[in-house]
Amino acid sequence: MRITIVPYFPLAAPAGARLAEGLAGLFDCAADLAAFAPPPARQPPSGQCAARVFLDDLRDRRSQRSAAGAVLLGVTDADLGAKRMNFVFGEADRDARVAVVSLHRLGSAGGTEAEPGRIIQDRLLKEAVHECGHVADLDHCEDPRCVMHFSSAVADTDYKGPGFCAACQKKLAQYGHGTG
Protein backbone atom coordinates (compact mmCIF):
# COMPACT_ATOMS: atom_id res chain seq x y z
CA MET A 1 0.00 0.00 0.00
CA ARG A 2 1.14 3.55 -0.73
CA ILE A 3 -0.55 6.70 0.62
CA THR A 4 -0.42 10.04 -1.19
CA ILE A 5 -1.62 13.04 0.83
CA VAL A 6 -3.39 15.71 -1.24
CA PRO A 7 -3.58 19.01 0.70
CA TYR A 8 -6.57 21.19 -0.23
CA PHE A 9 -5.13 24.17 1.62
CA PRO A 10 -1.53 25.38 2.02
CA LEU A 11 -0.48 22.83 4.65
CA ALA A 12 3.03 23.63 5.86
CA ALA A 13 5.66 21.17 4.68
CA PRO A 14 6.70 20.15 8.24
CA ALA A 15 3.09 19.34 9.21
CA GLY A 16 2.57 17.41 5.97
CA ALA A 17 5.83 15.54 6.46
CA ARG A 18 4.86 14.56 10.02
CA LEU A 19 1.49 13.27 8.78
CA ALA A 20 3.16 11.27 5.99
CA GLU A 21 5.72 9.87 8.44
CA GLY A 22 3.00 8.86 10.91
CA LEU A 23 0.91 7.14 8.23
CA ALA A 24 3.96 5.36 6.81
CA GLY A 25 4.91 4.07 10.25
CA LEU A 26 1.44 2.87 11.23
CA PHE A 27 0.69 1.18 7.90
CA ASP A 28 4.28 0.07 7.21
CA CYS A 29 4.08 1.62 3.75
CA ALA A 30 5.35 4.52 1.68
CA ALA A 31 3.58 7.86 2.14
CA ASP A 32 4.20 11.17 0.43
CA LEU A 33 2.82 14.68 0.22
CA ALA A 34 1.49 15.89 -3.15
CA ALA A 35 1.42 19.53 -4.22
CA PHE A 36 -1.35 21.85 -3.02
CA ALA A 37 -4.64 21.20 -4.84
CA PRO A 38 -7.30 23.89 -5.14
CA PRO A 39 -10.45 22.89 -3.23
CA PRO A 40 -13.03 21.26 -5.51
CA ALA A 41 -15.82 23.57 -4.34
CA ARG A 42 -16.43 26.81 -2.53
CA GLN A 43 -17.76 26.68 0.99
CA PRO A 44 -21.56 26.87 0.61
CA PRO A 45 -23.64 29.41 2.57
CA SER A 46 -24.52 26.67 5.06
CA GLY A 47 -20.82 26.65 5.95
CA GLN A 48 -20.46 22.92 5.40
CA CYS A 49 -19.07 21.11 2.36
CA ALA A 50 -20.23 17.64 1.45
CA ALA A 51 -17.33 15.22 2.00
CA ARG A 52 -18.40 13.41 -1.18
CA VAL A 53 -17.35 16.47 -3.24
CA PHE A 54 -13.77 15.94 -2.07
CA LEU A 55 -14.04 12.18 -2.62
CA ASP A 56 -15.28 12.83 -6.18
CA ASP A 57 -12.31 15.14 -6.79
CA LEU A 58 -9.89 12.53 -5.48
CA ARG A 59 -11.49 9.90 -7.75
CA ASP A 60 -10.96 12.25 -10.70
CA ARG A 61 -7.33 12.82 -9.67
CA ARG A 62 -6.83 9.05 -9.54
CA SER A 63 -8.13 8.67 -13.10
CA GLN A 64 -5.81 11.47 -14.30
CA ARG A 65 -2.64 9.88 -12.94
CA SER A 66 -1.11 6.50 -12.63
CA ALA A 67 -1.69 5.71 -8.97
CA ALA A 68 -2.42 2.00 -9.06
CA GLY A 69 -2.67 0.68 -5.54
CA ALA A 70 -2.10 4.06 -3.92
CA VAL A 71 -4.55 5.49 -1.43
CA LEU A 72 -5.27 9.17 -2.10
CA LEU A 73 -5.92 11.02 1.17
CA GLY A 74 -7.25 14.56 0.90
CA VAL A 75 -6.67 16.95 3.80
CA THR A 76 -8.86 20.05 4.04
CA ASP A 77 -9.68 22.81 6.46
CA ALA A 78 -13.32 22.90 5.29
CA ASP A 79 -16.14 21.82 7.58
CA LEU A 80 -17.32 18.45 6.21
CA GLY A 81 -20.79 16.96 6.26
CA ALA A 82 -22.27 13.66 5.07
CA LYS A 83 -25.70 12.09 4.74
CA ARG A 84 -27.37 11.37 8.08
CA MET A 85 -24.53 13.10 9.99
CA ASN A 86 -24.31 16.61 11.45
CA PHE A 87 -20.62 16.65 10.56
CA VAL A 88 -17.77 14.25 9.88
CA PHE A 89 -14.07 14.40 10.67
CA GLY A 90 -13.51 12.46 7.46
CA GLU A 91 -14.95 9.97 5.03
CA ALA A 92 -13.62 7.18 2.82
CA ASP A 93 -14.54 5.33 -0.36
CA ARG A 94 -13.09 1.81 -0.12
CA ASP A 95 -13.74 0.88 -3.73
CA ALA A 96 -12.09 4.00 -5.15
CA ARG A 97 -9.28 3.89 -2.52
CA VAL A 98 -9.74 7.55 -1.60
CA ALA A 99 -10.43 9.33 1.68
CA VAL A 100 -10.64 12.86 3.03
CA VAL A 101 -10.09 14.30 6.51
CA SER A 102 -10.69 17.79 7.83
CA LEU A 103 -8.91 19.93 10.39
CA HIS A 104 -12.00 22.10 10.84
CA ARG A 105 -13.48 20.42 13.94
CA LEU A 106 -10.22 19.17 15.43
CA GLY A 107 -9.91 22.27 17.61
CA SER A 108 -7.56 25.18 17.98
CA ALA A 109 -4.80 23.98 20.25
CA GLY A 110 -2.09 26.39 19.18
CA GLY A 111 -0.24 26.82 15.94
CA THR A 112 -1.71 28.20 12.74
CA GLU A 113 -4.03 26.74 10.13
CA ALA A 114 -1.06 25.97 7.87
CA GLU A 115 1.11 24.73 10.75
CA PRO A 116 -1.28 23.21 13.29
CA GLY A 117 -0.19 22.68 16.88
CA ARG A 118 0.94 19.28 18.17
CA ILE A 119 -2.47 18.32 19.64
CA ILE A 120 -4.22 19.05 16.35
CA GLN A 121 -1.52 17.18 14.43
CA ASP A 122 -2.07 14.17 16.70
CA ARG A 123 -5.82 14.37 16.10
CA LEU A 124 -5.29 14.74 12.35
CA LEU A 125 -3.05 11.66 12.28
CA LYS A 126 -5.65 9.60 14.16
CA GLU A 127 -8.45 10.64 11.79
CA ALA A 128 -6.22 10.06 8.74
CA VAL A 129 -5.28 6.58 9.98
CA HIS A 130 -8.97 5.89 10.70
CA GLU A 131 -10.07 6.82 7.16
CA CYS A 132 -7.15 4.97 5.54
CA GLY A 133 -8.13 2.01 7.72
CA HIS A 134 -11.56 2.08 6.09
CA VAL A 135 -9.90 2.11 2.65
CA ALA A 136 -7.91 -0.94 3.84
CA ASP A 137 -11.24 -2.74 4.49
CA LEU A 138 -11.54 -2.14 8.24
CA ASP A 139 -14.90 -1.33 9.81
CA HIS A 140 -15.50 0.58 13.03
CA CYS A 141 -14.11 -1.13 16.11
CA GLU A 142 -15.81 -1.46 19.51
CA ASP A 143 -12.50 -0.93 21.38
CA PRO A 144 -12.58 2.78 22.39
CA ARG A 145 -8.75 2.90 22.41
CA CYS A 146 -8.44 1.59 18.83
CA VAL A 147 -7.98 4.17 16.09
CA MET A 148 -10.85 2.49 14.21
CA HIS A 149 -13.33 3.35 16.98
CA PHE A 150 -15.95 5.83 15.72
CA SER A 151 -15.43 9.39 16.96
CA SER A 152 -18.62 11.38 17.46
CA ALA A 153 -16.71 14.19 19.19
CA VAL A 154 -13.12 15.38 19.42
CA ALA A 155 -12.96 13.91 22.95
CA ASP A 156 -13.38 10.45 21.38
CA THR A 157 -10.46 11.19 19.05
CA ASP A 158 -8.34 12.32 22.01
CA TYR A 159 -9.17 9.17 23.99
CA LYS A 160 -8.22 6.67 21.32
CA GLY A 161 -4.65 6.01 20.30
CA PRO A 162 -3.17 6.44 16.83
CA GLY A 163 -2.69 2.68 16.41
CA PHE A 164 -4.80 -0.39 15.82
CA CYS A 165 -5.99 -2.83 18.47
CA ALA A 166 -4.82 -6.45 18.16
CA ALA A 167 -8.03 -7.51 16.37
CA CYS A 168 -7.74 -4.75 13.75
CA GLN A 169 -4.01 -5.45 13.30
CA LYS A 170 -4.88 -9.08 12.61
CA LYS A 171 -7.52 -8.07 10.04
CA LEU A 172 -5.05 -5.74 8.31
CA ALA A 173 -2.51 -8.55 8.11
CA GLN A 174 -5.17 -10.88 6.69
CA TYR A 175 -6.02 -8.24 4.07
CA GLY A 176 -2.33 -7.94 3.16
CA HIS A 177 -1.61 -4.54 4.71
CA GLY A 178 1.29 -3.90 7.06
CA THR A 179 0.75 -2.34 10.47
CA GLY A 180 4.22 -1.10 11.35
pLDDT at 14: 86
pLDDT at 110: 47
Residue 67 has pLDDT above 70, yes or no: no
Q: How far apart are CA 125 and CA 156, in angstroms?
A: 14
pLDDT at 49: 87
**What is the per-residue pLDDT across 122-164, written as a single tens digit (0 to 9) for each?**
999 999 999 999 999 999 999 999 999 999 999 999 999 999 9
Q: 70 near 97, Cβ under 8 Å? A: yes
pLDDT at 150: 96
Rounded average pLDDT over 2-18: 91
Q: 12 near 75, Cβ under 8 Å? A: no
pTM for the model: 0.89
131 classed as catalytic: yes
**What is the per-residue pLDDT across 29-42, written as a single tens digit (0 to 9) for each?**
999 999 888 888 76
**What is the per-residue pLDDT across 39-60, written as a single tens digit (0 to 9) for each?**
887 666 667 888 999 999 999 9
Q: What confidence tier does 12 reach under pLDDT thresholds 50, 70, 90?
A: confident
The conformation of residue 42, written as its DSSP 8-state character, comes to P
Q: Which of 117, 60, 34, 48 is nearest to 89 (CA)?
A: 48
What is the architecture, at CATH level 2, of domain 2-174? 3-Layer(aba) Sandwich (3.40)
Mean of per-residue pLDDT scores for the chain: 88
Residue 112 has pLDDT above 60, yes or no: no
Q: How far apart are CA 92 and CA 36, in angstroms?
A: 20
Catalytic member of 91, 113, 131, 142: 131
